[in-house]
Structures are given as structure tokens and as C-alpha cells.
Amino acid sequence: MKSFLLITASLLSFACWSAIEYPVKNYSYISDLDYQSEVQNSDKYVVMVFSSSYCLDRSIVDRSCFLFERKFDSFIPSFSSKVKIVGFNTYFENSYATQLFEITKNPTVIIFKDNLILKKMEASYAPTDVVNGRIYWQDAFLKEVVNEVYKIR
């Protein structure tokens, strides 16, 4: 009976952990398993948005969580049809791509074409900005990323 309860609890906790809902509607998050088909084999420009579900895993989500992602999401309908946007969760899972591209800050955005990195952009902020709720850096990063994507015609 104990082993049954342990297995059931493990399965339920895994199911809860894997069912992450990101606050975006115009793109979806992929995993290491999808990387080859979604990025490497794509005939489009691929914009990968690296961010972390850390915000979703906390009991109290602060107002800056996923603010960049939500704002970026609103621009996606205006991008060229040659652009494909995918998100990538760097928190615990997906360590292959996170290590491969040396992702050290969230959010980070990488633009690919034919499996080559054309541009890597990292948000520029100090840890005290995040701790003190200063979010102005997100708008500056958003402007940089959107301007780069708009260059794709």
C-alpha cells in the first residue's frame, strides 16, 4: 500500500510540474526533445525566447514575472510570415539547449536561420533591479528584440 501511494504521489507531482501554463498566446514553449524539429529543421527564421517558469513555481508571483514575454507576444502578429517564434523554459528541464547556448540570463532571445545563430540578445539588468521591482530594463530589451525581428522581411 505504501508503494502504491508513493508511486501515485510521484505521478501526480510530475503531472503538476509538467503542466506549466505560460502567459502567452501567439507562441508555444518547446523542449529539448522538440529542438531539432522546431529549430534545426525549420525553413523559417526562428526566434527562441529563453525564459524560466520560476515565476510560475512561486506561491506569490510578482508583477514583473513574464512581463517581457507578454509584451513581446503582442507584437508577434505584426512579424513577417518568414518568422517562427518559440519559447524555451530554462528552469530545471531543457538543460541541453540551455547549456549549448550558454544561457545565463532570463530572458534571452536568439535568432536562428538555417541552424545558424544570427543574433543573441540578453537582457541587461542588475540583480538589485529584479529584487527591487524595477522593470524598466524589460522595455529596453523588448525594443531591441522587436527591432531585430522587424528587420526580417
Contact between 97 and 29 under an 8 Å Cβ cutoff? The reply is no
Is 81 domain-assigned?
A: yes
Q: What is the mean pLDDT of the chain?
A: 81
- Give the cell for residue 131: 529584487
Domain harbouring 85, CATH code: 3.40.30.10
Number of domains in the chain: 1
Kindly indicate the confidence band of residue 125, based on its pLDDT and cuts at 50, 70 and 90. Answer: confident
- Whether 11 has a pLDDT exceeding 50, the answer reads no
Ramachandran class of 94: left when φ > 0, alpha when ψ lies in -120 to 50, beta otherwise: left
Contact between 96 and 31 under an 8 Å Cβ cutoff? The reply is no
Q: Tens of pLDDT along 21-45? A: 677 899 999 988 999 999 999 999 9
Is 49 domain-assigned?
A: yes
Is 9 domain-assigned?
A: no
Is 80 domain-assigned?
A: yes
Is 15 domain-assigned?
A: no
Is 1 domain-assigned?
A: no
Q: What percent of the chain shows pLDDT beyond 90?
A: 44
Segment 126-146 shows an average pLDDT of 78
Is 13 domain-assigned?
A: no
- Domain of residue 79: give its range: 24-150
| Secondary structure E strands in the chain | 28-30, 45-51, 83-89, 108-113, 116-122
Is 105 domain-assigned?
A: yes
- Whether 96 has a pLDDT exceeding 60, the answer reads yes
Comparing 41-50, 88-97, 100-109, 117-126, the range with the smallest average pLDDT is 88-97
